[in-house]
Structure 1
Amino acid sequence: MTKGRAGLAARTSVVLALLFCAFGGWSYAQADRDGSLTFAASRDAALAEGKRHVEALTGFDGRKPEAALRRWLDASTGPLREELREAKTKTGPTARARITDAALTALDDRAGTAELIATLEVETDTAGGGAPNTERKRLEATLARTAEGWRVRSLAAVPVGGV
C-alpha cells in the first residue's frame, strides 16, 4: 500500500511539474507578443537618449565653440534646432553638465513624443581662470523621435517653488 501511494505522489508531482512548465511557456509566449515589452524598450531608449542630449545641450566648450554648436545641433530637432542654427558662436567660459537624475513623465510611442525632467549639476569655468562655479539646475525637455533616434525638441528650466 505504501508503494502505491509513493507512485501516486510521484505521478502527481510529474503532472504538476508539466503543468507548471506549460503555464510558464504560455506566459512567456504571451509576454513576447505583448506590446508592453515594445513600450518598455521605447521608454528606456527615450530616457537614455534624452539624458545624453540634455547633457549635451547644457554643456559648452568655450575653447571650441563650433564643436559645441555641432553637438547642440546633433542633440536637437524642430524649433529648438532652428533656433540653435541661428546662434552665433564665440569663445567664452566652459560649462560641463552632469545629469544627477532624470525620468520620463510622459511617453506617446505612437506619436513619437516624450516629456523628460532632469536635475543637473553644471560646473562653469571662468575665462579668467578663477575657481569653477557649480550650480544645480532642473530642466524639462520635450523629446521627439526622428530617423536618427530621440532628439530634444524643446528645453526649459523648471522654476524652484518655495513654500
Structure 2
Amino acid sequence: MTAQRGVLIGSIALVVVAFAFAAVFGIWWASASGDDADVRRAREEVSTSGAAAVATLTSLDFNNVDATYQRFLDVSTGSVHDDYAKNQDAFKKRISDAKVVTTAAVRETAVTDVNLQRKEATILVVVDTTVKESDKAPTTKRLRIEAALDQTDDGWKVKALRQVPYSATGQQ
C-alpha cells in the first residue's frame, strides 16, 4: 500500500507543478499578446498619421500660402518643424513665387519600425505628386519618401524626411 500511496502523492505533486507552469506561462502569454496589440495599434496609427503628414508636406498651394504653411507646422515636430518656423518668410515667398499647386496622393505606406518606449517610428511612403503650373498641363511624379515620426501629445508627427531613390532595376 505504501508504494501506491507514494505514486498517488507523486502524481498530485506533478499535477500541481504542471498547473503552476501553465499559470505562469499563461500570464506571460497574456501580457505578451497585450504588448503585441499595443504595437499593432501603434503601427496602424503611424501608418495613417504618417501617410497623411507626408501627403500634407508634399502638397503646396500658392493661392493659399498661409494655410499651406500652417498645415506644414501642424504635421511636423522637431527639426522639420523648427526649420519651417525659423524660415517662415522665405518659405512663404518660395511658395508664392513658384506659382504652382501641388497635390499628393499616397499610393502605399509601409511601417518599418515602431518603438513605443522611445515614442518613435519610421515609415516609407510612395506618393504621386501632381504639379499644376498656371499655363501648363499637370505633370505627375512618383516619390518614395522615408519619414521619421515622433509620438507627441497631439499624435504622430514628422520629425525628419528624406527622398529614397528607386532601385536600379527601374521598379516603380
What interval of TM-score do these two structures reach, taking the shorter chain for normalisation? 0.7 to 0.9
User: Aligned residues: percent identity?
Assistant: 24
TM normalised by structure 2 equals: 0.74
SS of residue matched to 1:154: strand
SS of residue matched to 1:63: helix
Q: Which has the higher helix share?
A: 2
Whole-angstrom CA distance in 2 between matches of 1:150 and 1:34: 21
TM normalised by structure 1 equals: 0.77
Q: Quick check: 1:31–1:37 contact (8 Å CA) kept in 2?
A: no
- Equivalent residue, structure 1, for 2:168: 162
Residues 1:122 and 2:153 are matched in the alignment: no
What's the CA shift string for 1:25-68, capped at 9, x where partnerless?
x9xx9379721111111111111100110100000111011110
SS of residue matched to 2:63: coil
Whole-angstrom CA distance in 2 between matches of 1:155 and 1:148: 19
Whole-angstrom CA distance in 2 between matches of 1:119 and 1:35: 29
SS of residue matched to 1:84: helix
- Equivalent residue, structure 1, for 2:35: 35
- Equivalent residue, structure 2, for 1:21: none
One of 107, 117, 124 as aligned partner of 1:110? 117
What's the CA shift string for 1:63-112, capped at 9, x where partnerless?
01111000000010000001111142032200000110011101101100
**CA RMSD, Structure 1 to Structure 2 (Å):** 2.0
| Matching residue's letter, 1:98 | A
Stretches of 4+ aligned residues off by more than 6 angstroms: none
Whole-angstrom CA distance in 2 between matches of 1:138 and 1:42: 22
Mapping of residues 7-18 of structure 1, within 5 Å: none
Gaps in structure 1 of 5+ consecutive residues: 1-25
